[in-house]
Amino acid sequence: MRKGLQSVENSENNSYKIIAVDDEIGIVDSLSIFLKRTGYQFVGVTDPMEAIERVKNEHFDLMVLDFIMTPIHGDQVVEEIRKFNKDLYILLLTGHKDLAPPLDTIKRLDIQGYCEKSDKFDQLLLLIESGIKSIKQMNDIKQINHELSDTYEKLEQAYLESIETLRYTVEAKDIYTRGHSERVADFSVLIGKKLGLSEEDLRNLHLGGLFHDIGKIGVPDSILQKDSRLTDDEYSQIKQHPNIGVHILSNASIFRDILPIVEHHHEKYDGTGYPSRLAGENIPYLARITTVADSFDAMTSRRSYRDSLPIEFVIEELERCRGTQFDPKIVDAFLDIVRNDFSSVQEIMGKYK
């Protein structure tokens, strides 16, 4: 029975690879016999510089490392290894406990344990077995996290596809706004690049532009398609769409960073907008960018109650509302694009129609 258990243990151990580093060949040979008998894959190295290269180019689960060596000591070996490998489990061997490196060095280099050299390897085997158990647990945790992450990504993708369907439904309710969200996304990114924003901010601007009007799914068709002036009650219903949008999107973390855009893209720089009457820099920065993009596309697109407005008039409106409806610096950045790189603006204006 014991032989059977030992065979299983050896089989499990064989999946773990150990490297031993000691400039005394006798120690390496003894460890080789001892650890191979226990079932581990084993590599023995007497040159610490070679050991660094082996770890750099091969996978090892655990390292048994002598402290006092030439041409460099064990702590220097670990120092180099930690520059490219943070996961290797390392046990340090010392000729005498007084020769061990300081405790703060052991902590700083994330050395998991050390023991004194001995003719018997009982203590070292216990440390190795303990180390292998820790490595197995960490591998199991990584695998579980990977599986959870994979499942979560699939759920998020499914949710994203569902929200995309809702967005298309919104645009299908009003043919005059078809392509509006895509253009707002593109204009927002165009402004963001002009302002030198990060890739993460540009991604959020694009996603925020795509879904900024998703809340209009909760607005009656009769209001969205009305070709005359809205009543106060109808306008109040329109003003609910940012809050409806946030409610729809808040169930998935993939949309977490764009919620401020969805909620506040109708705020005005002077504090007279909705839904929260925020003013100036209290309005989230990306929402201020989306506001300019949204307004520009609204003015340059055909609507049920009017044709698209001439670009000269739109420029005048942006200038007139600079500092009241819009953040002055963002308007200035966009107007600079319109005046000096109008081809990029025209390209977006002609999209999705």
What residues are labeled active site?
216
Q: How many residues does the chain have?
A: 353
Contacts of 296 (CB under 8 A, 6+ apart): 187, 314, 318, 334
A 10 A CB-CB count for 154 gives: 10
Q: How far is CA 348 from CA 180, 254, 266, 341, in A?
A: 10, 26, 22, 12
What whole-number distance in Å separates Cα of residue 279 and Cα of residue 288? 10
Amino acid (1-letter code) at residue 94: T
**Triad 205, 208, 209: Cα angle to 5°:** 85
The answer to whether 146 touches 153, Cβ cutoff 8 Å, is: no
- H or E element in which residue 44 lies: strand 41-45
Phi first, then psi, for residue 41 (nearest 5°) are: -70, 135
Any alpha helices (H) in 195-220, and if so which ranges? 199-211
Place of tokens 């994979």: 150
A 10 A CB-CB count for 172 gives: 11
What whole-number distance in Å separates Cα of residue 334 and Cα of residue 295? 12
212 SS3 class = coil
The answer to whether 190 touches 348, Cβ cutoff 8 Å, is: yes
What whole-number distance in Å separates Cα of residue 145 and Cα of residue 165? 30
